[in-house]
Structure 1
Amino acid sequence: MDLLTLVERIGEAPAAALLGLMTGVIFGVAAQRSRFCLRAATVEFARGRMGDKVAVWLLTFSTAVVWVQGAQYLGLFRAEDARIMAVPGSWSGAVIGGLLFGVGMVLARGCSGRLLVLAATGNLRSVVSGLVFAVVAQMSLSGWLAPTRDKLAALSVTAGGQNMDLLAALGLPDIAGLMFGIVVAGVALAVAAHNRIGGWRLIFASGVGFAVAVGWVSTYALSQIAFDPVAIESATFTGPSANTLMFFLDHTTVLEFDIGLVPGVFLGAFVASWLTGEFKFQGFEDEANMRRALTGAALMGFGGMLAGGCAIGNGVTGGSVFAGTAWLALVCMWMGAMVTDVLVDQRGLRATA
Structure 2
Amino acid sequence: MDLIPLIDHIGEAPTAALFGLITGMIFGVAAQRSKFCLRAATVEFARGQMGPRVAVWLLTFSTALVWVQGAQTLGLFNSDDARMMAVAGSWSGAVIGGLLFGAGMVLARGCSGRLLVLGATGNLRSIVSGLIFAVVAQMSLHGMLAPARDYLARLWVTPGGRNVDLLALLHLPDISGLLLGLALAALALVVSYKNKISTRTLVFASGVGFAVAVGWVLTFSLAQVAFEPVSITSATFSGPSANTLMFFLTPNPVLEFDVGLVPGVVIGAFAASLWGREFKFEGFDNAGNMRRAMIGAVLMGFGAMLAGGCAIGAGVTGGSIFAATAWLALFCMWIGAMLTDFLVDQAGQTAAARPSA
Deviations 1:128-169 (A, max 9, x none): 000000000000000000000000000000001100000011
AA at the equivalent of 1:116: L
Aligned partner of 1:78 in structure 2 is: 78
Does residue 167 (structure 1) correspond to residue 167 (structure 2)? The answer is yes
| Secondary structure at 1:249 match in 2 | coil
What's the offset of the Cα at 1:39? 0.2
C-alpha deviation, 1:3, in angstroms: 2.1
Matched, 1:100 2:100: yes
Matches within 5 A, 1:192-203: 192-203=192-203
Tell me by how many angstroms 1:180 deviates: 0.4
Please show how residues 268-279 of structure 1 align to structure 2 within 5 Å.
268-279=268-279
Once residues 276 and 206 of structure 2 are traced to their aligned partners in structure 1, the CA distance between those partners, rounded to angstroms, is 19
Matched, 1:316 2:316: yes
Q: Which residue number in structure 1 is paired with residue 28 of structure 2?
A: 28
* Aligned-pair Cα RMSD in Å: 0.7
Instruction: Establish whether residue 221 from structure 1 lines up as the match of residue 221 from structure 2.
Output: yes
| CA deviation profile, 1:202-230 (whole Å, cap 9, x unmatched) | 00000000000000000000000101110
1:253 is displaced (CA, Å) by 2.5
How far does residue 14 in structure 1 lie from its aligned partner after superposition?
0.4
3-state SS in 1 of match to 2:197: coil
- DSSP-derived class of the 1:237 partner: coil
Correspondence for 1:260: 260
Counterpart-to-counterpart distance in 1, 2:224 and 2:292: 45
| Corresponding residue number in structure 1 for 2:42 | 42
Q: Using the alignment, how far apart are the partners of 1:145 and 1:253 within structure 2?
A: 23
Distance 1:340 1:252 in 2: 42
Match of 2:247 in 1: 247
Aligned residue number for residue 90 of structure 1 = 90
Q: The residue matched to 1:164 in structure 2 has which SS?
A: coil
Q: After the TM superposition, which residues 173-188 of structure 1 pair with which residues of structure 2 at under 5 Å, given as runs?
A: 173-188=173-188
Per-residue deviation, 1:298: 0.5
| 4+ aligned runs moved over 6 Å, structure 1 | none
1:304 and 2:307 matched: no
What CA distance in whole angstroms lies between the structure 1 residues aligned with 2:101 and 2:248?
25
Q: Which amino acid aligns with 2:43?
A: V
TM-score normalised by the chain length of structure 2 = 0.98
The reply to whether residue 282 of structure 1 matches residue 303 of structure 2 is no
Deviation at 1:94, TM superposition (A): 0.3
Give the drift of 1:5: 1.1
Structure 2 residue runs without a partner (length 5+)? none
Greater shift after overlay, 245-254 or 211-220? 245-254
Residue 251 of structure 1 and its aligned partner are, at CA, apart by 2.7
Pairwise CA distance, 1:276: 1.3
Deviation at 1:2, TM superposition (A): 4.5
Identity %: 73
The letter of the residue matching 1:334 is W
Superposed displacement of residue 352, structure 1: 2.0
Gaps spanning 5+ residues in structure 1: where?
A: none
